[in-house]
A and B are shown apart, each in its own frame.
Chain A
């Protein structure tokens, strides 16, 4: 999206304020049952209460560590496999149906199995996150390497590039645009996946906190956990945007849509 003008920002703030205001008013006036819907002021209050009390930081740290690990491992595996399968047509064709099948599996259903395999600690969550991140990054890298302009490839070959130099100077930079569009999505998915993992069985993490709140029908706690996560996803997304803008500075400034935040 093009950077919104000052007037649009005001409208955007107005929309958000209207939504929260209606919710707040509805819950306070009794049109919405506070037990089911909580109230924005309560949710915000809870978030601050958590942040001040401090125990939430441990949970947040655990969730972020899991998300980071699954993101890092998933991206690494996805980029490497994407490269190899795109560059070695035999392997690409060989694995093609199996990758499709694996991608079609509902991976969230694997979460309990990962709990059995890797235990209640962070690694069962990381495993779940990796299965989600890997496929997104893999498909984009694969596509990116396949779609390298053959003309640029030929030019680099004529200038004397070895296969390694081709990878470093042509294939990676060319695939980077694709890889980045997958990073935006996979960051969000990595966090969602580990939270789902925590939710299903853990003793730490934001997912655990949300599950605890849900267990005692504490709607405010559930919303507060979600709010905290959303904020984290937005901050990480903005950091990726910066990195992307720097790494893709050779591209003409975008005239059309920017990829959405993860």
Chain B
């Protein structure tokens, strides 16, 4: 089963083309990372998959159905803080269920425990640290039990240690969940440690896919020790040689 199928997807904005002719299949149940130099249209690609943007050309199928409007099978974890600041942590977590008209109290409390925020249910987002807010966002997007989880550099703003913990927690959540994850990042190490496959996008504007690299590291993975393994370095070097070229191109264009 293909979770996400992009066929010749192009998206133009006033005056420039963000992504051009992207064709990409993401099989169900896989953890796929998308990497590329900054400004290469990674976020645009994710917004297209979410249905927040419509493609200028081409089509997107989600689990075999043509996508029109918001992608109802997907959850989205944004790069910046997107929690509702006027709702408590518990209400934020429960939001997706409440929008669907489901009784949410019990499940929301379960998720509160699951992301380690017991005792913070009635706090407001401004009272939490950056890492805690990410945990709320994680619970918020996973509680609705989506088939597809889209993540746009969710941990970019966190310090290295918090980030490592959050990456581990995402893997724990995902393992055995059968969910498809599309994870956008500019950090190649993060991409390799988490995913089954890394998709490389070319430098923008008009970026396209230039490479797909399966990651054959065994699971479950120990994120702390993973980076010292020889296979990790082989993969890193292989993908980096491709990424390096695109980064140089992007530098040349923005100079």
Residues on A lying within 8 angstroms of B by beta carbon are: 151-152, 154-162, 165, 169-170, 173-174, 176, 248-252
Our pick among B86, B88, B96, B125 for the contact of A159 (Cβ within 8 Å) is: B96
Chain A residues near B50 (CB-CB < 8 A): 154, 158
Contacting pair A151 B80 (CB below 8 A): yes
Q: Chain B's interface: helix, strand, loop or mixed, by majority?
A: loop
Pick from A151, A248, A249 the residue with the most CB of B within 10 Å. A151
Our pick among A156, A160, A252 for the contact of B126 (Cβ within 8 Å) is: A252
Contacting pair A160 B99 (CB below 8 A): yes
Chain A residues near B70 (CB-CB < 8 A): 157-158, 160
B85 interface hit (Cβ, 8 Å):
yes
Chain A residues near B84 (CB-CB < 8 A): 152, 155-156, 169-170, 173
Whether A155 touches B124, Cβ cut-off 8 Å, given contacts A160-B99, A160-B100, A169-B95, is no
Count A-B pairs with CB separation below 8 Å: 67
Q: Chain A's interface: helix, strand, loop or mixed, by majority?
A: helix
Chain A residues near B124 (CB-CB < 8 A): 249-250
Docked CA distance A173–B218 (Å): 47
Q: Which residue of B has the minimal Cβ distance to A165? A: B99
Whether A250 touches B85, Cβ cut-off 8 Å, given contacts A151-B80, A160-B100, A160-B144, is yes
Docked CA distance A170–B76 (Å): 17
Q: Which residue of A has the minimal Cβ distance to B140? A: A159
Q: Mark B82-97, 1 if CB is under 8 A from A, else 0.
A: 1111111000000110
Question: What's the nearest-Cβ distance from chain A to residue B132, in Å?
Answer: 15
Give the number of residues in B that approach A within 8 Å (Cβ atoms): 28
B244 interface hit (Cβ, 8 Å):
no
Contacting pair A158 B52 (CB below 8 A): yes
Q: Which residue of B has the minimal Cβ distance to A153? A: B82
Chain A residues near B99 (CB-CB < 8 A): 156, 159-162, 165
Chain A residues near B126 (CB-CB < 8 A): 250-252
Chain A residues near B52 (CB-CB < 8 A): 154, 157-158
Q: Which residue of A has the minimal Cβ distance to B72? A: A160
B195 interface hit (Cβ, 8 Å):
no
Docked CA distance A43–B72 (Å): 69
Contacting pair B86 A173 (CB below 8 A): yes
Docked CA distance A45–B86 (Å): 48
Chain B residues near A169 (CB-CB < 8 A): 84, 87, 95
B183 interface hit (Cβ, 8 Å):
no
Question: What's the nearest-Cβ distance from chain B to residue A176, in Å?
Answer: 8
Our pick among B76, B87, B141 for the contact of A250 (Cβ within 8 Å) is: B87
Contacting pair B78 A155 (CB below 8 A): yes
